[in-house]
Amino acid sequence: MRAQCFSFSGLTLYESVVKGMPGYQSVASPRIGTDINIIPKNHSIYWPASANAAMAVMLKNLFANTSATNKNKIDSLESAFNLQFQNQANAEVIDQSVEYGRKIANHIFDWSKTDGGHEAYLGATNSSYIPPTGPGKWIPTPPAFSQPIRPYWGNNRSFVPDIAITTMPPAPTYSETADSEFYQAANEVYTISSSLTAEDISIVKTWGDLPGNYGTPAHYTNIATQLILKNEFKLDRAALTYAKHGIALYEATICVFKAKYTYNLIRPVSYIRNVLGLSTWNTVIGTPPHPEYPSAHAVIGGASYVVLESIFGNNSFVDRTHEHLYGARSYHTLKEYAV
């Protein structure tokens, strides 16, 4: 899952340079139970080389199934940066820094494998998961009618203990009565869908991150990257931003899937087809195979903007993530992209 990857890669970047950031301390060491940031005696660390090595290791570990071509690109990029560093530090310091960064990355990757994420993605990984049935409960949705994904994601280890329980939203009130709030909300979705403009469809596809299923956490991380570049952050501030933002995305994802599979609420496409009786109605993009409530985009987006607002302020910005497909999108505030 992308949010998990962004949390541990952001944390790795931060941990690989935190000893060179006065006033900051390790986040990972207390949680892992050992000091992963010890610098060997008589070693000097050039922090960009440490960060470069750590990220190369983490990328290849987190995306172990990527193509040989992509792995070669990671190796080539790492080497290219190391060549640049030769003008900044001597060969012995660079070698010590590379060793240090790789040690940090391996510690964090080994720890990441124990958080539950390796087993929580598909219900098929644990045959004991059976979706509940009954009025208002989730059922497989078109076009693929796939099995539910991430049914156990809410049980993953979080950075803040028990955060999925302490942030649990109230239960939704399901109803099939025509004058109920639930029915009216579904009917509003249908009514709006009958007169969508080209701009409406473009917005849906932008935030659906299509084609290619770019992914919500990746999109929000790209916004963070754009802001880092715009504000010309140095390595220390960029590392801090990626760590805070990545951890927030992962915590939000754990929370939202804990709630989704606690309530197992039906998706609008199923309600509109089966309750409103519009059996051929469909969504602009495919409905992800997991329960409706609460909205993953809203919860993860909320976590994203709060972290970024605390770092960059609530200023206007332009999101160019899908500029080549749907054009750049301007927002008056950071909160605006999340709501």
Q: Which two tokens stand for residue 154?
A: 């809410």
Per residue, what are the HEC states of 137-196?
ECCCCCCCCCCCECCCHHHCCCCCCCHHHHCCCCCCCCCCCCCCHHHHHHHHHHHHHCCC
pTM of structure: 0.94
**156 contacts 244 by C-beta, under 8 angstroms:** no
Contact at 8 Å (CB) between 258 and 157?
no
Distances (CA, A) of 302 to 95, 109, 142, 204: 41, 27, 27, 18
Distance, C-alpha 23 to centroid of its chain? 28
What is the structure's pLDDT at 1? Answer: 62
The alpha-carbon radius of gyration of the chain (Å, integer) is 22
How is residue 73 written in tokens? 């690109």
pLDDT in tens, the chain (339 residues): 678 999 999 999 999 999 999 999 999 999 999 999 999 999 999 999 999 999 999 999 998 888 999 999 999 999 999 999 999 999 999 999 999 999 999 999 999 999 987 655 444 445 578 899 999 999 999 988 988 988 999 999 999 999 999 999 999 999 999 999 999 999 999 999 999 999 999 999 999 887 665 678 999 999 999 999 999 999 999 999 999 999 999 999 999 999 999 999 999 999 999 999 999 999 999 999 999 999 999 999 999 999 999 999 988 999 999 999 999 999 999 999 887
| Count of alpha carbons within 13 angstroms of residue 141, beta-carbon side | 24
Q: What are phi and psi of 50, to 5 degrees?
A: -65, -45
Q: Are 46 and 86 in contact (CB under 8 A)?
A: no
- How far is Cα 199 from Cα 130, in angstroms, rounded to an integer? 39
Q: Which pLDDT score, from 0 to 100, does residue 339 have?
A: 79
Residue 202: HSE in the Cβ half-sphere, 13 Å Cα cutoff: 11
Task: Look at residue 320 and give its three-state secondary structure.
Answer: coil
C-alpha 256/C-alpha 319 separation (Å) is 25
